[in-house]
Amino acid sequence: MTTLQASAWRNAAARLLRPHTCLDPMRREFKSELEPNEVVEPDLLDIRRSDVLLVEYGIPNRPYLGTTAEMMYAKMLGKPIVVFYGVHREISTHPWMQYLATKQLETLPEACRWIKEMLP
């Protein structure tokens, strides 16, 4: 997924989730010379500061390594995890996805609607 694609769905989510605040990891500047902890630690801080984790899992054959690690971290913190998977429907039956995800939905608008109903 390109930076532009990653930002696009997050920007759409921010619009759909108003008046709630979204913490977008794409707001940080990613440089190739960053140490791994300089990438990971700010993401983990965002998860600790969040009420819910919204996850895009819709691209077949994408590794999603960081995304899955973030989901596990959020699960360990007791945070709700809402996943939208688009055409990647088969992921919804994977045991790890079923374990980690609080709610799985097909589209971003459905996921945002569910979050808005869940949050005060």
pLDDT, residue 7, reads 86
CATH code of residue 42: 3.40.50.450
Phi, psi of 83 (to 5 degrees): -115, 135
What is the residue whose two structure tokens read 């819910």?
52
- Domain of 84 in residue numbering reads as 3-118
Q: At what angle do helices 36-49 and 65-76 cross, to 10 degrees?
A: 40
pLDDT, residue 2, reads 76
CB 51 within 8 A of CB 78: no
Record the tokens describing residue 68, joined without a space: 């899955």
How far is the C-alpha of 79 from the C-alpha of 54, rounded, in Å?
10
How far is the C-alpha of 43 from the C-alpha of 58, rounded, in Å?
20
How far is the C-alpha of 21 from the C-alpha of 2, rounded, in Å?
23
Question: What does each of the 120 residues of the chain score in pLDDT, given as a tens digit?
Answer: 777 788 899 999 999 999 999 998 888 877 778 899 998 999 999 999 999 999 999 888 889 999 999 999 999 999 999 999 988 888 899 999 999 999 999 999 999 999 999 997
pLDDT, residue 5, reads 81
Total structural domains within the chain: 1
CB 115 within 8 A of CB 82: yes
pLDDT, residue 88, reads 82
